[in-house]
A and B are shown apart, each in its own frame.
Chain A
């Protein structure tokens, strides 16, 4: 709960780009990990979600 009042119905804009970058990095890492795992699964088992 933030003590600063916020307008209801307005867009949410990032207050701090650092944390956005950090989240973006984390997101990128997660997505890269997921892509890597998917790639590995496909190359090894020829399937991503199903049982080989």
Chain B
């Protein structure tokens, strides 16, 4: 065997061993792409299944959502209808409310007018009441005057009856005296002269002379005193001639006490405000319009 052959054999061996070593190393360390591909494939399949399941669940969820949306739309429509109906009722109620408010306003105005009328009637009634009171006082006064006048008339009539009787007696006595006188004078040829009356003849009517205004001259007594409010009550009223704004002077014996300015008059009494108080008045003090 030649040297070259030997060298070639050695080189062949070395390189073979080297090459085989490389190949074995490479094959041993090579990645199992099939297993990787299979696992990837199985993963892909799993994911595809999951994707399909997700798509299916998405479809189902979409269907449920669509169904829910349809139900909600139906509810919305129903609610809109209900709302429209309620809105209509609300409008009707508002109209009724407006009408009722107008009626209330009208009734309020009517009540106000009625109140005004009642107030006016009350005022008129009070005025009439005051007139009635004054008329009653006037009536009382007139009745009292009538009674006094009647009494005076009866007295005068009694006096007149007495005087007539006396006149008749005097006339009879006069006639008897004249008869006797004539009888006596006839003896001497005379007759009695006609007596002259002492009753004065009436002159022609003349206007009455102007008289100066006379004093009121009302007298009474203090029947009540309110020093806290400076009020006092007297025993005479409209029947005696007391009028509002009259001034009475209160005296106690010869001493001046105070003045009373009348502001309220009743038929048989009057109330006034105390003025010019010198001494505290008390019940029983005399009141008069003229000192």
Binding site for B on A (CB under 8 A): 2, 15-16, 19, 22-23, 25-26, 29-30, 32-33, 36-37, 40, 44-45, 52
Across chains A and B, which 4 residue pairs bring their CB atoms closest together, nearest first?
A: A33-B20, A26-B13, A26-B16, A29-B20
Residue of B nearest to A37 (CB): B27
Q: Helix, strand, loop or mixed for chain B's interface?
A: helix
* B81 within 8 A of partner (CB): no
CB distance from A44 to the nearest CB of B (A): 5
Q: Do B32 and A23 touch across chains, with their CB atoms under 8 A apart?
A: no
Which of A2, A25, A44, A45 lies in contact with B13, CB distance below 8 A? A25
Residue of A nearest to B31 (CB): A44
In the complex, the answer to whether A26 meets B17 with C-beta atoms within 8 Å is yes
Q: Does B255 contact A (CB under 8 A)?
A: no
Q: How near does chain B come to A3, taking the closest CB pair, in angstroms? A: 9
Chain A residues near B5: list those with CB within 8 A.
Answer: 19
Contact B32 A44 (CB under 8 A): yes
Query: Are A45 and B10 interface neighbours, CB within 8 A?
Result: no
Q: B10 to chain A: which residues have CB within 8 Å?
A: 19, 22
Contact with A along B67-101 (1 / 0, CB 8 A): 00000000000000000000000000000000000
User: How far is it, in angstroms, between the C-alpha of A52 and the C-alpha of B28 when the chains are bound?
Assistant: 18
Chain A residues lying within 8 Å of B1, measured Cβ to Cβ, are: 15-16, 19
- Please list the residues of chain B having a beta carbon within 8 angstroms of any beta carbon in chain A: 1-2, 5-6, 9-10, 12-13, 16-17, 20, 23-24, 27-28, 30, 32, 34-35
CA distance A30 to B23 in the complex (A): 10
Question: In whole angstroms, what is the CA distance A15 to B1 when docked?
Answer: 7
Chain A residues with Cβ below 8 Å from B30 are: 40
- Write out the residue numbers on chain B whose beta carbons fall within 8 Å of the beta carbon of A16: 1, 6
Task: Verify A26–B28 contact, CB threshold 8 A.
Answer: no
Chain B residues, CB < 8 A from A36? 24, 27-28
Interchain CA distance A16-B23 in the complex, whole Å: 30
Complex Cα spacing A28 to B34, Å: 29
In the complex, the chain B residue whose C-beta lies closest to that of A52 is: B34
Q: A2-B2, A19-B1, A26-B17 are in contact. Are A33 and B24 (CB under 8 A)?
A: yes
Please state if B9 and A30 are interface contacts (CB–CB under 8 Å): no
A37 to B24, CA, bound (A): 7
Q: Indicate if the CB atoms of B23 and A23 lie closer than 8 Å.
A: no
Q: Is the CB of B34 within 8 A of A45?
A: yes
Q: Is the CB of B9 within 8 A of A19?
A: yes
